[in-house]
Amino acid sequence: MSDASVPARPARLQSAVALRALATVFVVVIHTTHWPPSNPLFDNLDTLARFAVPAFMLLTGVLLSYQYGGSRVRAGDFLRRRFSRSLVPWLAWAPVYALFGWFFSTDPEHNLVGVVNFLIYGAGHLWFLLLIPQMYLVYLVWPRRHLWWWAAAALAVQTALCVYRLYGPMPIGFDQFFLWHGFQLLPFWIGYFAMGVAAGRSLVTSGEPTEVRWPAVAGAAALVAASGWLMIALTYGGAPHGDFQIG
C-alpha cells in the first residue's frame, strides 16, 4: 500500500519531538562526561544519560508505526528512502572517521587489522547508523495486529538475551554475538522498538492528549526517579560479564 493511502493525521507528534530533543541532549552528555577525571558524579551522569539510546529505539518504532498507520509498505521504496538516511551516511562517513582516527588518535590502530576491526565495530560513534537499518528491515515483516502482545514478547526476548549476556556461559563464538557485538544487533534492543511500534499505532487512533494529565505526570516522574536510582544502584558487580552491562 502506498504512502498516499495512509489516513491523514497530524504530521508531527509533539511528544516525539520533545523526547528526541531530550535524548539528543543526553547523547551529548554521554560524551562530555568522559572529558573530566572520573568521579562518582560524572560516572552517574553518564549512566543516567544512557537512556538516550533506548529512547531513539522507541522513537523509531513510534514514528514508523504512526506514519504508516498499520499499512503494508512497498519494500523497495521504503528501504531506498530509509537507507538513504542511515546506511548511506554510514558508508560516506566511516572512511572519514577512520582517516581522522588514524592521524589524530590511536583508534583505529595503525595497521590493516585495526582499520578492519574499527569498521566492523561500526566506525566509532557511527555504530548506531548500522542498527537503524535493522529496525527498518524488521518493520517490513512486523505484525500489524496485537501489537502490545508482540511488544511484551519482544521485551521478554530482549530481557532474556541481556540476562544471559551478563550471567550465561560463553562457548566459543557466543562471546562475539552476546558480548562484543551485542550492542550492534537488534535482538538486544527489540523490546524498545516493539514498544514504540505499539505506541505509535495507539497514537494513530487516539491522538496525543490535548491537556496535561497531572496524575499521569506524577506517576511517570516517580517511575523515572525509581528507574534512575536502579540504574545507578545495580552495578552487576557479581556478574561474570558485568563489564558489558552498559552496551
Measured between its terminal Cα atoms, the distance across the chain in Å is: 37
pLDDT at 8: 57
pLDDT at 227: 92
pLDDT at 82: 94
Per-residue pLDDT tens digits for 118-150: 999 999 889 999 999 999 999 999 999 999 999
Of 56, 136, 22, nearest to 88 (Cα)? 136
pLDDT at 6: 45
pLDDT at 41: 84
Per-residue pLDDT tens digits for 48-79: 999 999 999 999 999 999 998 878 888 999 99
Kindly give the parts of the chain with pLDDT less than 50. Answer: 1-6
Query: Three-class SS of residue 152?
Result: helix
Distance of alpha carbon 69 from alpha carbon 18, whole angstroms: 21
Helix extents (H) in 121-237: 128-141, 147-167, 174-175, 190-206, 214-233
Distance of alpha carbon 215 from alpha carbon 209, whole angstroms: 13
| Element holding 140 (H helix, E strand) | helix 128-141
Beta carbons within 8 Å of 178's beta carbon, 6+ residues apart: 161, 164, 165, 168, 170, 241
pLDDT at 73: 86
